[in-house]
């Protein structure tokens, strides 16, 4: 007998596996693939061979912008997300996977210095904050690049990170 839910469950399992491969935490897989906590934990164990990490998700992107270089990298991630998903109405797992894979292809997860790597969890929080209006992209009048404005961030981060990093030589040719 045909099980009408079988296709849906297979799709959810594929999605959960793709998320686990990219390091998504249990609660993100639960939310995006519609699995139970135990199912999500099992997918992580089977896919990565590692124990799922627990702990709460960051409440806002504000906690992730530790310094201007990270701010610049997360601005690049936000640009890719919004370019691929101009009107994100709901958190779409496939949109997040597309964004993540392109970001990693172009930028890698680790910076050249000793910055903490960007994680899939951060993309999830960033996309959520962009969707609910806690953050937005703003175009810098000076250098022309779009940067991530986070409405809950301290005033030291309410400025274009590229200009604050002193990248002017890259913007003006002799
Ligand atoms: Zn600028």
List, for residues 19-52, the tens digit of each pLDDT value: 999 999 999 999 999 999 999 999 999 999 999 9
43 with 82, same domain: the answer is no
Q: Distance between CA 9 and CA 12 in Å, rounded?
A: 5
Residue with tokens 């951060």: 122
Using one digit for the tens of pLDDT, what is the confidence trace for 74-128?
A: 999 999 999 998 876 778 899 999 999 999 999 877 656 556 788 999 999 999 9
38 with 89, same domain: the answer is no
Residue 54 lies in a domain: no
Query: 141 C-alpha vs ligand 1 centroid, how far in Å?
Result: 7
SS3 state at 116:
coil
Query: 148 C-alpha vs ligand 1 centroid, how far in Å?
Result: 11
Using the 8-state DSSP alphabet, how is residue 59 labeled? S
Query: 83 C-alpha vs ligand 1 centroid, how far in Å?
Result: 19
Counted domains in the chain: 2
Q: What is the pLDDT of residue 130?
A: 92
Which residues lie closer than 8 Å to 22 by C-beta, 6 or more apart?
97, 100, 101, 120
Query: 145 C-alpha vs ligand 1 centroid, how far in Å?
Result: 6
106 with 166, same domain: the answer is yes
106 with 35, same domain: the answer is no
Query: 69 C-alpha vs ligand 1 centroid, how far in Å?
Result: 13
The alpha carbon of 153 is separated from its chain's Cα centroid by a whole number of angstroms, namely: 17
* Range of the structural domain that residue 66 is part of: 61-171
- Between strands 135-139 and 146-150, the pairing is antiparallel
Using the 8-state DSSP alphabet, how is residue 158 labeled? S
Whole-model pTM: value is 0.87
């Amino acid at each position: 007998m045909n099980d009408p839910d079988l296709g849906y469950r297979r799709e959810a399992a594929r999605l959960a596996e793709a998320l686990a491969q990219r390091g998504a935490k249990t609660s993100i897989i639960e939310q995006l693939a519609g699995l139970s906590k135990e199912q999500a934990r099992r997918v992580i164990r089977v896919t990565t061979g590692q124990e799922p990490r627990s702990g709460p998700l960051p409440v806002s992107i504000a906690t992730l912008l530790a310094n201007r270089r990270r701010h610049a990298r997360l601005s690049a991630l936000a640009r890719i997300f919004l370019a691929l998903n101009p009107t994100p109405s709901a958190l779409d797992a496939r949109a997040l996977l597309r964004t993540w894979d392109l970001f990693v292809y172009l930028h890698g997860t680790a910076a050249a210095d000793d910055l903490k790597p960007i994680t899939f969890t951060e993309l999830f929080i960033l996309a959520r904050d962009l969707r609910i209006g806690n953050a937005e992209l703003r175009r810098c009048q000076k250098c022309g690049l779009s940067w991530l404005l986070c409405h809950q961030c301290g005033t030291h981060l309410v400025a274009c990170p590229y200009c604050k990093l002193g990248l002017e030589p890259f913007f003006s040719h002799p």
